Structure 1
Amino acid sequence: MLLRALLLTALLTASSGLPAAEATADPWRPKPPPLTTPWTDEVGPDNALPEYPRPQLTRDRWLNLNGLWAYGGGSTPPEQTPEQILVPYPPESGLSGIQRHDDHMLYRRTFELPPDWAGERVLLHFGAVDQKAEVSVNGRPVAVHEGGYTAFSADITDALTPGGPQEIAVSVEDRNDANPYPLGKQRNEPGGILYTGASGIWQTVWLEPVPEEHIAKLDITPDLTGFDLVAHTSAPGDQPVEAVVSDRDGQEVARARGRAGEPLRLTVSDPHLWTPDDPYLYDIQVRLVDSGDVVGSYAGLRTVGLLHDEQGRPRLALNGRILFQHGPLDQGYWPDGIYTAPTDEALRSDLEVTKRLGFNMVRKHVKVEPARWYYWADRLGLLVWQDMPSLPIDLADPPGSNPPPSEEARANYRAELTAMIDQLRSVTSIVAWVPFNEGWGEFETREIADLTRRTDPTRLIDINSGVNCCYSLPDSGAGDIYDDHTYVGPGRPEVRDHRAVVDGEYGGLGLIEEGHLWPGEPGAYEMTDSREALTRRYREVSDELVRIIEANGLSAAIYTQTTDVENEVNGFLTYDRRILKPDVAAVRAANLAAIDAGTP
């Protein structure tokens, strides 16, 4: 693998993949991470996340810019790029070839446009860059973006030069918790439940050609009989647009024509609903009639809401029926890629394990994933509770002592919250938004709940997961869900108002697997000493969960957690994904029993 990487590095440099000034840089090689995963050795300059990155808005032609870029970093803005980095792995990761944090980063690379793109507009896309990015092409500024979790794009056509290589430069500042941006669990000084930061470019960078008038975004809202679809275009106007829905066999089941920017109603004949047990997805093709721009997409038919059970208790419902939602807390960290999964197979594998364990949902914890993660949740059949990444607070301070977020931090939070919801609004599997976690950076809870509802009125709101604990402000009663955190638990929240009650976090049973540990002192909420003991305790906690579901009308439960993360060893999987700790059959049986107990 290393020999192939070195040979490819020489080839890319010779073909202007890097600026000419960087042609003499040392050959790229990965740095050894503290732990490797089964996919670590599959990563190299020729296959750095080669998959199409945007499954709900696809075109046939595109150019992946992942791979080797020239890189410079330091505590002050660098002027030179003497190193090479493998994009899109963050500099802190071993896979990047850098394996250090820099407050300031400068990325540079060249590319050549395919000849058949002549005469078309060229869009440059970034899946995510953390935290502040300034992008130029051939020395001409084309984009500025703030916030580390949302995608952004630029039309770079007017910055391109006739013939020859084109150069992209990306200047980034990321000071982790020293900046007033949402950052989840990233920290400059990781430890315990806080982890290594992931700076700079950490999702796919790519180009695509489009007509001057083209589809920029699709908003797809499902119900039980069809879809409402809005096609947003590159320029204001009422261009005619046509949408077609096809089933899995390629048979057309709905067609509508209307105007861009206005809702199209696509009523599906003989609708096949999406559920975790049967994650049926329809293909959707949308065409901008005048320009001929055509994009592909997909979605599933489903609704989410609250219903009352026979005792009059509010419960979570899918497709008009009460369904108990049970899943793990999923942090989305990797020992070799930090925030970036080494491969698409790796990204999918955590969700496949979640399904094997009998769960029907997953809580994505204070992180936003690349679009392909949600694609796999849609295809595999997992309900998703999507957290908003938290603002930085000092968890070493006792509850009540943290100052409230600054006005700048609040503004950044609101902007990225609404951008996240807007970016993910068409994802079938997402059923709930979770703006705050345990009061970290919490402010103006009712206002944020109202903002979330205005931005997306179709999903449930869990305004503060863990409202009973930690740094949480007094319960405001906002949202649709009252969320209890109790370790080891499970918690016993009781219905108190219009909201469904859930255990948003419980469990945290740990097991140390020697040879599969991150450097540092391992920890868990309760440690066990063998896989048998871990399985036994999981069954005991699950048996208690079933009793609480039946007695209290609990609507959902989220177990900590999918994998070990750095020094936390309370995952089903070790951090390197090489060992699944408990007995799978026993855990699956317990999880299915809990779902059955809470589903009339």
Structure 2
Amino acid sequence: NLNGSWQFAAAEEGEKPPVGKDLKEKILVPYPVESQLSGIERHEDRMWYRRTFTVPENWRIGDGKRLNLNFGAVDWQSEVYVNGRKVTEHKGGYDKFTADVTEALKPGRTQELIVGVYDPTDADNGANPPVGKQRLDPSGIWYTPSSGIWQTVWLEPVAADHADSLKITPDVANKQVTVETRGVRDGVPVTATAYEGKKKVAELSGRTGKPLKLKITDPRLWSPDDPFLYDLRVRVGSDRVTGYFGMRSIAVEKVNGTPRTILNGKPVFLMATLDQGFWPDGLHTAPSDEALAYDLKMHKEMGFNSVRKHIKVEPDRWFYWADKLGLLVWQDMPSMEAGRTPDTAARAQYEREMKQMIDEHASSPSIVMWVTFNEGWGQYDIGRVAEQAKAWDPTRLVNNMSGLNLGADGGTGDIMDEHGYPSPAIPPRPDGRRALVAGEYGGLGLAVPGHAWSVQQSYVDVDPATYTDDYIAKLGEVRSLVCKGNNGAVYTQITDVEGELNGLLTYDRKVVKPDVKRVKAAHEALIRDASQPTVPGCTTS
């Protein structure tokens, strides 16, 4: 693990990497350069990171083994040098990348690693990268940027033939799971073994280049009520990979003439919060794994069965916790800047980053929906982009635009999604094919003294004495829309963020605003009733 203290310096366009030169500042990786935890706490468009490392002798690099250098995420464009040799470059602020650095190693113990980063955020310089909520001038619903290395950096010894990832696809209808090894040449012997606890339930061997289809005779289905995960072990030549999978299906089907979201063959109402994944001390990077898990655990404690990850992509550990705890994830593609029309290059980059997001997280059972655009932000070719996402991953739902009220509907995807504040709303003109959801609503604002930023924004202010009552009243409005075909709702939001006060938790996560037991009971009752084939209290025509 190469997290920790690195040397740091601001950079200018066209500068050569500072090979062999000490940099004057220190930064704590993997916290964004603007964050308090980084130790820098300012924005730089261009920057250098530098450190040295040693390769353990018992890894025997060069003796049939290679050395990979892995980055969880760097925002936004990066160049990587080992001992002055450029080993890779990458564009994309939310996806991982790897460099084989074996040939760049030099004799002796100490190796030099330099990373150059360029992140214009929302500066109008033609780049227009996917930025989500980041802004150089944050205020209101826009937040402080998260530039530079913001996820873990690590070294890994690997066999010459090795899997760099697995794509695991459950097929509940046929009681099987497909395992594909990626990043390895065709023809290498491969064996996949599935376990239910310590019990082996399936095993199959073959050769890379052709997926393995393991029969799961009596599958235990993954759901929010029972988030059961099978263990998986894969041998690829001399390489060993461990992982897990969940057996679950998701679809939109008509039930009594109404398009419904269907989990494992049964209707399910998706009750979520808007989860933006910002932290007061680490911005995009949670201060610890316990902190990363905490927000998701609070979702479960308050009775939510879903979470909308709003225009940010989290590290793998976040998805692990969602998989393990049992939450249905709506995963947004981080949007380009609102109000700017993306050019051809920006559109191509947007779609490259979207494909990376889908490919990297395709094996998480928790993800049930890809959201390709949010409202009118950086939006283009809505119908085509949704169809492309569906082609990349036909096993999940596609929401072509969360917030139909702010743009023309592309007519594609599986979901029609309306935003309403503070009261929930559903699309007024359903097409009879796609399932309806209230993709954002609520925004009840409550400032907790000592736990709120000085600049404050909310959709509606609430009296502390009536906060829980007001929240449950809005939930009653969600319930009334179920009879009109509503399949899900996303409350804004799980935590306060910077100047926004509409969180169920304060930004520092030290205060939970509502009565948790009452809210949980209300959510569970709504999910139970709204997930019935015939919803109680609704009349059919």
TM-score by structure 1 length?
0.85
User: Matched residues in 2 for 1:210 and 1:316: separation?
Assistant: 42
Q: 1:523-562 counterparts in 2 under 5 A?
A: 523-530=457-464, 532-549=465-482, 551-562=483-494
Are positions 1:588 and 2:520 aligned together? yes
Q: Which amino acid aligns with 2:288?
A: T
Aligned length in residues: 518
What does the per-residue CA deviation read over 1:449-476, in whole Å, with 9 as the maximum and x for residues that have no partner? 121011111100000000113xx2x112
What does the per-residue CA deviation read over 1:212-237, in whole Å, with 9 as the maximum and x for residues that have no partner? 11111111001222211111243x22
Are positions 1:116 and 2:58 aligned together? yes
Match of 2:539 in 1: none
Q: 1:117-516 counterparts in 2 under 5 A?
A: 117-118=59-60, 119=63, 120-178=65-123, 179-224=127-172, 225-234=175-184, 236-248=185-197, 250-289=198-237, 292-310=238-256, 312-393=257-338, 402-469=339-406, 472=407, 474-494=408-428, 495-516=430-451
Q: Which amino acid aligns with 2:290?
A: E
Match of 2:452 in 1: 517
What does the per-residue CA deviation read over 1:247-277, in whole Å, with 9 as the maximum and x for residues that have no partner? 12x1100001111121101111321110001
User: Matched residues in 2 for 1:71 and 1:589: separation?
Assistant: 50
Q: Which amino acid aligns with 2:169?
A: T
Contact 1:490–1:506 under 8 Å retained in 2:
yes
User: Matched residues in 2 for 1:435 and 1:160: separation?
Assistant: 41
User: Matched residues in 1 for 2:313 and 2:502: separation?
Assistant: 22
Q: Which amino acid aligns with 2:30?
A: P
Post-superposition offset of 1:75: 5.7
User: Matched residues in 1 for 2:202 and 2:221: separation?
Assistant: 15
SS in structure 2 at match of 1:215: coil
Post-superposition offset of 1:88: 0.2
User: Matched residues in 2 for 1:263 and 1:321: separation?
Assistant: 29
User: Matched residues in 2 for 1:557 and 1:280: separation?
Assistant: 25
Structure 1 unaligned segments of length 5 or more: list them.
Answer: 1-63, 394-401
Post-superposition offset of 1:518: 2.1
Post-superposition offset of 1:74: 4.8
What does the per-residue CA deviation read over 1:325-372, in whole Å, with 9 as the maximum and x for residues that have no partner? 101000000000000000000000000000000000000000000000
User: Matched residues in 2 for 1:133 and 1:410: separation?
Assistant: 19
SS in structure 1 at match of 2:486: coil
Q: Which amino acid aligns with 2:346?
A: A
What does the per-residue CA deviation read over 1:304-326, in whole Å, with 9 as the maximum and x for residues that have no partner? 0012122x000001111111110
Contact 1:512–1:529 under 8 Å retained in 2:
no
User: Matched residues in 2 for 1:197 and 1:159: separation?
Assistant: 33
Contact 1:307–1:321 under 8 Å retained in 2:
no
Q: Percent identity?
A: 50
What does the per-residue CA deviation read over 1:406-432, in whole Å, with 9 as the maximum and x for residues that have no partner? 111111101111111111111110000
Q: Which amino acid aligns with 1:444?
A: D
User: Matched residues in 1 for 2:281 and 2:230: separation?
Assistant: 35
Post-superposition offset of 1:519: 3.7
Q: Which amino acid aligns with 1:308?
A: K
**More displaced 10-residue stretch of structure 1: 67-76 or 482-491:** 67-76
Q: Which amino acid aligns with 1:535?
A: T
User: Matched residues in 2 for 1:302 and 1:150: separation?
Assistant: 25
**CA 1:89 to 1:542, structure 2 compared with 1: closer, same or farther past 3 Å?**
same
Q: Which amino acid aligns with 1:491?
A: A
User: Matched residues in 1 for 2:187 and 2:426: separation?
Assistant: 53
Q: Which amino acid aligns with 1:243?
A: A
User: Matched residues in 2 for 1:326 and 1:315: separation?
Assistant: 14
**CA 1:403 to 1:177, structure 2 compared with 1: closer, same or farther past 3 Å?**
closer
Post-superposition offset of 1:387: 0.1
Q: Which amino acid aligns with 2:457?
A: G
Contact 2:426–2:436 under 8 Å retained in 1:
no
Q: Which amino acid aligns with 2:193?
A: V
Q: Which amino acid aligns with 1:428?
A: P
User: Matched residues in 2 for 1:138 and 1:484: separation?
Assistant: 52
Match of 1:565 in 2: 497
User: Matched residues in 2 for 1:166 and 1:75: separation?
Assistant: 25
What is the RMSD computed on CA atoms of the aligned residues? 1.2
Match of 2:506 in 1: 574
User: Matched residues in 1 for 2:344 and 2:467: separation?
Assistant: 45
User: Matched residues in 2 for 1:534 and 1:454: separation?
Assistant: 44
After the TM superposition, list the runs of 4 or more consecutive aligned residues in structure 1 that deviate by more than 6 angstroms.
none
Match of 2:536 in 1: none
TM-score by structure 2 length?
0.94
User: Matched residues in 1 for 2:444 and 2:390: separation?
Assistant: 35
User: Matched residues in 1 for 2:360 and 2:453: separation?
Assistant: 33
Match of 1:54 in 2: none
Contact 2:404–2:427 under 8 Å retained in 1:
no
User: Matched residues in 2 for 1:167 and 1:404: separation?
Assistant: 41
Q: Which amino acid aligns with 1:385?
A: W
Match of 1:33 in 2: none
User: Matched residues in 2 for 1:597 and 1:390: separation?
Assistant: 34
